């Protein structure tokens, strides 16, 4: 699939996601919110999957909007500058969720379908097609 990241670059992007996950998880308790709040809202960005009910184009748009660092960092910055601890809390939880997804290899989606991401094929698409260029740039 054209446009997917492969090889060492793919692993670096996944490692970045892991670092975001760890850093945000470390920072979260400093905001003074409980882990119950964290658990309650951690999967909130995944509500964006409902966009796929309107087709892959809308699904990719809603998923990517909810899984881009742009919104999460904007939310965190707004919480800092306003100041609003609730927005800061939401931003950190949001960043943690995105980092978690990226570390697992769930990237931003193409309108081709849910299994086509910037980090490569996932799900049944990954199993049904091999990518010979996977390790070519190590």
Give me the pLDDT at residue 45, please. 98
User: Could you give the CA distance from residue 103 to residue 106 in angstroms, rounded to a whole number?
Assistant: 7
Give me the pLDDT at residue 5, please. 80
Give me the pLDDT at residue 137, please. 41
Enter the tokens of residue 45: 């960005």
Q: Determine the longest span between alpha carbons in the chain, in angstroms.
A: 50
Q: Which residues contact 55 (CB under 8 A, 6 or more apart)?
A: none
Q: Quick count: other Cβ atoms within 10 Å of Cβ 82?
A: 11
Question: Tens of pLDDT along the chain (138 residues)?
Answer: 556 788 899 999 999 999 999 999 999 999 999 999 999 999 999 999 999 999 999 999 999 999 999 999 999 999 999 999 999 999 999 999 999 999 999 999 999 988 889 988 877 766 665 544 434 343
Give me the pLDDT at residue 122, please. 79
Sign of CA dihedral 121, 127, 128, 134: positive
User: Could you give the CA distance from residue 5 to residue 66 in angstroms, rounded to a whole number?
Assistant: 20
Exposure class string for 7-23: b at 16+ Cβ within 10 A, else e: eeebeebbeebeebbee
User: Could you give the CA distance from residue 97 to residue 119 in angstroms, rounded to a whole number?
Assistant: 16
**For the chain, domain boundaries:** 17-126
Strand order in the sheet with 113-117: 109-110, 113-117, 120-121
Give me the pLDDT at residue 135, please. 40
């Amino acid at each position: 699939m054209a446009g997917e990241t492969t090889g060492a670059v793919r692993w670096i992007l996944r490692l970045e996601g892991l670092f975001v996950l760890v850093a945000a998880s470390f920072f979260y308790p400093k905001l003074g919110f409980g882990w119950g709040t964290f658990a309650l809202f951690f999967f909130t960005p995944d509500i964006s999957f409902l966009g796929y009910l309107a087709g892959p184009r809308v699904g990719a748009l809603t998923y990517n909007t909810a899984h881009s660092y742009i919104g999460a960092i904007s939310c965190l910055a707004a919480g800092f500058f306003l100041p609003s601890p609730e927005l800061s809390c939401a931003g950190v939880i949001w960043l943690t969720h995105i980092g978690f997804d990226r570390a697992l290899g769930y990237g931003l989606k193409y309108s081709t379908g849910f299994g086509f991401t910037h980090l490569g094929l996932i799900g049944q698409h990954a199993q049904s097609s091999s990518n010979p260029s996977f390790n070519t740039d190590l």
